[in-house]
Amino acid sequence: MGVLRSTESLEAEVEEFREMLFRSSGGLEFGAWKRGSGAVRRVTDGEEGEGHGRIVCVTSAVSFLGFAIVNRLLSLGYCVRLALETQEDLDKLRDMEMFGEMERDGVWAVMASVMDLDSLCWAFDGCTGVFHTSAFVDPGGASGYSKHMADMEARAAERVIEACVRTQSVRKCVFTSSLLACVWRQNSPRNNRLPTVVDENCWSDESLCRDKKLWFALGKTMAEKAAWRAARGRDLKLVTVCPALVTGPGFRRRNSTGSIAYLKGARDLFAEGLLATVDVCKVAEAHVSVYEAMGSTACGRYICYDHIIQRKEEAAELERQLGIPNRISSETPTDHPTWFELCNRKISRIMSSRRRCAYDVYSIVYN
């Protein structure tokens, strides 16, 4: 959504995506979906448990995170529809001959603008779930993200949720937010004895984000709040995942602009013990885990991270990987106690529970 990438970067993503599809296609059984194949209806929880509801849509599916989510879904036997924002993305996929007649091994690509409600409804039609992973990125901005992008992202979030509600087949939506929508708070209470816990109940202060010109944090906060407002009282199950800085193999090449936007204000986060990272594969697993648990235990927000950067050496290494020296660390000593403590117990419980279920299934099959 609004992501501008070089031709070389896009071709590398598409090539990696094609290899992933070929690896994932063996042994998967997928259904088929055709536009105009008949009326669709909202699937019940019971029907989904019987094997229905395995068609989902992923927005910005060839992005760094979207790609990982698609990979995870395919490995679990889902049919995945790729909602692409630009004709360039679609043309590159066609040039790679990935889908044949727009279908291959349970994958479809469709054009859908997140600012166009009708195109979103068309893209979501026939899907039971939507993974909204898109984010606006402005490579021309000093930090990769502008105030205008923040406003656009909030409006796009409203349209995505409205499209989910209007599309009869869609029952669930997993919305990608950010840890930055939780950590930028004004006048946070500080206890001299114990650190203040930052969890899913915490929201970033929009006024503080504006004062500090933290446009990426502002955009994520506004967009997530807009999604919750749009879904309130509607026939749609919504959960949001709030990942830390997403890293992983090739993240500098494939996600450098978003990473630099995330790290505006990183020096303050580092000093407070709130600068965290998470591997892209774990974020993808978290998205699918909460999606599959939405019929039972999953609800609300989920903070997702797997490492907190606490030492200057770690900060310097991240700066080196992204080519942004002196963005995070400083000459100021950082061996003082931090005032805050991040908490990801909620997502950890969901993911460990899903893993146990998968192990039980495999034990039954192979024993």
Contacts of 316 (CB under 8 A, 6+ apart): 328, 329
In the chain, what is the straight-line distance between the N-terminal and C-terminal CA atoms, in Å? 46
Q: Residue 44 has which token pair? A: 């019940």
d(CA 242, CA 224): 9
Tokens of 205: 């202060």
Q: If you count DSSP H runs as helices and E runs as strands, how many of each does the chain have, helices first?
A: 14, 12
DSSP-derived secondary structure for 209-261: HHHTT-HHHHHHHHHHHHHHHHHTTSS-EEEEEEE-EEE-TTHHHHHHHHHHH
Given this model, what pLDDT does residue 269 score?
A: 94
Place of tokens 């770690």: 314
Q: Which residues, 6+ apart, have CB-to-CB distance to 68 below 8 Å?
A: 248, 280, 281, 283, 284
Which pLDDT value is given to residue 189?
A: 60
Q: What is the pLDDT of residue 240?
A: 98
State what percent of residues in the chain have pLDDT above 90: 51
Show the tokens assigned to 258: 């978003």
Which SS3 state, helix, strand or coil, does residue 277 take? Answer: strand
Contact 292, 353 (CB under 8 A): no
Q: What's the burial of 186, exposed, middle or buried (CB within 10 Å: 0-12/13-18/19+)?
A: exposed
Number of neighbours of residue 165 by Cβ within 10 angstroms: 17
Measured between alpha carbons, how far is 113 from 227 in angstroms, rounded to an integer? 17
pTM recorded for the entire structure: 0.83
Q: 250-259: per-residue pLDDT in tens?
A: 777 766 677 8
CA–CA dist 122, 169 (Å, integer) = 11
Query: Rounded to 5 degrees, what are φ and ψ at 326?
Result: 60, 25
Closest CA to 202 of 234, 233, 230, 224: 224
Pick the catalytic residue from 34, 92, 147, 220.
220
Q: How far apart are CA 127 and CA 37, in angstroms?
A: 13
Which pair of structure tokens corresponds to residue 367? 């024993």
Instruction: Report yes or no: 62 and 82 within 8 Å, Cβ to Cβ.
Output: yes
Q: Of 328, 140, 137, which is closest to residue 220 (Cα–Cα)?
A: 137
Non-local (6+) Cβ contacts of 132 within 8 A are 59, 157, 160, 173, 174, 175, 176, 227
pLDDT of residue 347: 96
Q: Write the pLDDT tens digit of every residue in 151-181.
A: 999 999 999 999 999 999 999 999 999 999 9
181 close to 242: Cβ distance less than 8 angstroms = yes
Cα–Cα distance measured from residue 272 to residue 196, given in angstroms and rounded to the nearest whole number: 11
User: Which ranges of the chain have pLDDT less than 50?
Assistant: 1-6, 24-52, 99-102, 141-142, 358-367
- Known catalytic residue: 212? no
Coil, strand or helix at 163: helix
For 84-92, the CB contacts below 8 A with 24+ separation are 84/60, 84/109, 84/110, 84/111, 84/112, 85/1, 85/2, 85/3, 85/59, 85/60, 85/111, 85/112, 85/113, 85/114, 85/134, 87/111, 88/10, 89/10, 89/62, 92/10, 92/11, 92/14
Triad 39, 44, 45: Cα angle to 5°: 150
**Whole-angstrom distance, CA of residue 302 vs CA of residue 347:** 6
